[in-house]
Amino acid sequence: MKAGIVSLLLLLLTCTHGLQRGKDYFKEKVCNEYNILGETDFRSISLVINSRKYSNATFEQIISLVNDMVDLAKKCCTAGADPDCYENESTALSEKSCRPDAPFPRHPGIAGCCTEQGLARKLCLAALKHPSKEFPTYLEPSNEEICDAFKKDPRGFEERFLVEYSSDHSYAPLPILLNSTRNYLSAVRTCCASTQNNICFLKERLQHKPAQAFTHLSNKACALYALLGKNKTTVSYLIKFTQQTPSLSFENARNLAGETSEILSKCCDSLEENCFQNELKLHIAHICNTACGGNERLRTCCSSKDDVGKYLCIYSLPWDKHSQVPQVPSSVDEGACGEDGELDIYRNIYDVARLYTRAPEALLITLYSASQTATSDCCGLPDPKACFAEKDLKTIAPLHALIEKGNEICGEYSDHTYVEFLKRLRANALTLLPPGTVDAEDQVSALVEQRTSYVTKCCHLNAPPTYCGIQVKDPVPTICFLADCIENKS
Ligand SMILES: *[C@@H]1O[C@H](CO)[C@@H](O)[C@H](O)[C@H]1NC(C)=O
Ligand SMILES: *[C@@H]1O[C@H](CO)[C@@H](O)[C@H](O)[C@H]1NC(C)=O
Ligand SMILES: *[C@@H]1O[C@H](CO)[C@@H](O)[C@H](O)[C@H]1NC(C)=O
Ligand SMILES: *[C@@H]1O[C@H](CO)[C@@H](O)[C@H](O)[C@H]1NC(C)=O
């Protein structure tokens, strides 16, 4: 499974240029791929690619789809196949995909694609992709279970692993994902044949740990990029860099964030084997040159021996405890209507992040969106000042309050042991209920549970963005880990 070969397959599955070049282009690519790889590797790569596309599908749905794709290639890609075979069969496959009872993965976009015909429909189906799973579902079995399952049915074990691992890492760049699955399966083959398989697994895991961690990390970073797009990804990293190292100047933080976002735009969909590794070299040098002065832990990361090690270390640094600015930054106002309006908003987010270094990023991103909405609604009006004042009152100020509370509760969570944190949370929740509440115990338990769930998942850098609320649509998010939310409910 060479990357160059993989790239061919991917092209034929996703490349929209095919529309201009016509259907033969696809046939040629698929068949080329099939003939070069052979059936087994073609099947493996198809499993990985479809599990990435349909990360929410069941194993059986993926297998049905891949079975049909392999059958198509087997039937139509041989030397003597009828010239119409590929076109007819792939049309039949796309028709089958459009049937409501199809055994294939489900996707909300399928119905829309099925209103198209011919090549346009196939391209539309090929471009569908599920959003990322924010919480992985694959649990690695014990060594003994791995080898039992592998010995019983080697191919079945491999296929299940390919599907489960790929759907958990559906946004990791394909070459990185393939490398990881290849490493893992090769370790299983070697170690299950070894008489000392525990020692063997230990050794293999140690050796591949950086590559596995990198797969995990690139998956998270690219999923964020896919969710937020380029501009908001820049904002997201502006927040991360600032909350990690609040002494960083605005210019440096913004440059580093812009650089990260640029790298993601280049590498997340790249089929180049070492895109990330190559791009990260310079970026890490910039981080280490500009940010180390104000961050002791970062300095330690920068002394790691290789770039991937440095990056993994930097990425997992916690947020800084100490805020830098003495007073609360103001909201954006009519000043942001100028040419550099976007920059004003960035600077405002930077100021807020520097003050509230432990506020969940999701809340700050919501502030960014609200500020952007304010400028687009208010600038150009006869009285932008009044408009901004109203926006401030209605959406921005409540967000500031929410961010302040988020900072406070995440600070509590970070500063205390979990047991102590729970105790304080419970005591605090009790004070919020009106005296004489009948089922106070139940209400308090429900609240504590709801908040701890949010806090444990969201009170750190690189938290899962959708769960933690980046996509909150309302101008004032109703994330219920804060006191006022309880008050509204009771
Ligand atoms: C994923 O599957 C779950 C359960 O089958 C379902 O509730 C959810 O809506 C699905 N998500 C998407 C994006 O299809
Ligand atoms: C392909 O479809 C056309 C039109 O439906 C038909 O005439 C032809 O026999 C089919 N060819 C094969 C190989 O199935
Ligand atoms: C592939 O995995 C190997 C072994 O862990 C690692 O050394 C290498 O850097 C990885 N390559 C890529 C492109 O991720
Ligand atoms: C993204 O940022 C660029 C540069 O700051 C700006 O020109 C562009 O309008 C922004 N796009 C969106 C959708 O906000």
For 105-144, what is each residue's pLDDT tens digit?
999 999 999 998 888 888 888 888 999 998 989 999 999 9
Q: Which stretches does DSSP call E strand in 16-56?
A: none
How many angstroms is it from 248 CA to the middle of ligand 4? 23
Ligand 1 contact, 130 CB (< 6 A): yes
Ligand 1 contact, 131 CB (< 6 A): yes
**Ligand that comes closest to the CA of residue 108:** 1
Q: Which two tokens stand for residue 447?
A: 């609240």
Ligand 1 contact, 56 CB (< 6 A): yes
How many angstroms is it from 261 CA to the middle of ligand 4? 13
Residue with the smallest CA separation from ligand 4 atom 12 is: 231
- Quick: pLDDT tens for 325-371: 667 778 888 889 988 888 999 999 999 999 999 999 988 998 999 99
Centre a 10 Å sphere on the Cβ of residue 164 and count the other Cβ atoms it contains: 18
**Ligand that comes closest to the CA of residue 109:** 1
- Tokens 């290849």 -> residue: 182
- Return the best residue to mutate from 233, 342, 344, 349 for the ligand 4 pocket (most ligand atoms within 8 A of CB): 342
Sign, CA dihedral 477-479-481-486, equals positive
**What pLDDT is recorded for position 490?**
26
Ligand 3 contact, 274 CB (< 6 A): yes
Chain centre distance of CA 232: 13
Q: Are 125 and 113 in contact (CB under 8 A)?
A: yes
Residues recorded for the chain? 490
User: 15-23: long-range contacts at Cβ-Cβ below 8 A with a sequence spacing of 24 or more?
Assistant: 16/123, 16/127, 18/119, 18/123, 19/119, 19/120, 19/123, 22/119, 23/87, 23/119
Q: Are 6 and 271 in contact (CB under 8 A)?
A: yes
**Ligand that comes closest to the CA of residue 131:** 1
| Burial class of residue 79 (count of CB atoms within 10 Å of its CB; 0-12, 13-18, 19+) | exposed
Ligand 3 contact, 175 CB (< 6 A): yes
Q: Distance (Å, rounded) from C-alpha 447 to C-alpha 432? A: 11
**Measuring CA to CA, which residue among 70, 85, 80 is closest to residue 27?**
85
How many angstroms is it from 337 CA to the middle of ligand 3? 48
Residues with CB under 6 A from ligand 2: 82, 84-85, 88
Q: Distance (Å, rounded) from C-alpha 432 to C-alpha 426? A: 10
**What pLDDT is recorded for position 279?**
93
**What pLDDT is recorded for position 324?**
66
**What pLDDT is recorded for position 24?**
65
**What pLDDT is recorded for position 357?**
93
Q: What angle do CA 239, 242, 246 make, to 5 degrees?
A: 150
Ligand 3 contact, 211 CB (< 6 A): yes
Q: Which two tokens stand for residue 459?
A: 């009170």
Pick the atom of ligand 4 nearest to 229's CA: 13
**What pLDDT is recorded for position 449?**
84
Residue with the smallest CA separation from ligand 4 atom 1 is: 231
**What pLDDT is recorded for position 429?**
80
Residue with the smallest CA separation from ligand 1 atom 2 is: 56
- Return the best residue to mutate from 53, 54, 56, 467 for the ligand 1 pocket (most ligand atoms within 8 A of CB): 56
**What pLDDT is recorded for position 467?**
81
Which H or E run includes 335? none
How many angstroms is it from 377 CA to the middle of ligand 3? 49
* Phi and psi at residue 104, to the nearest 5°: -90, 170
**Measuring CA to CA, which residue among 385, 364, 377, 372 is closest to residue 345?**
372
Residues of the chain where predicted confidence (pLDDT) is lower than 50: 1-20, 471-490
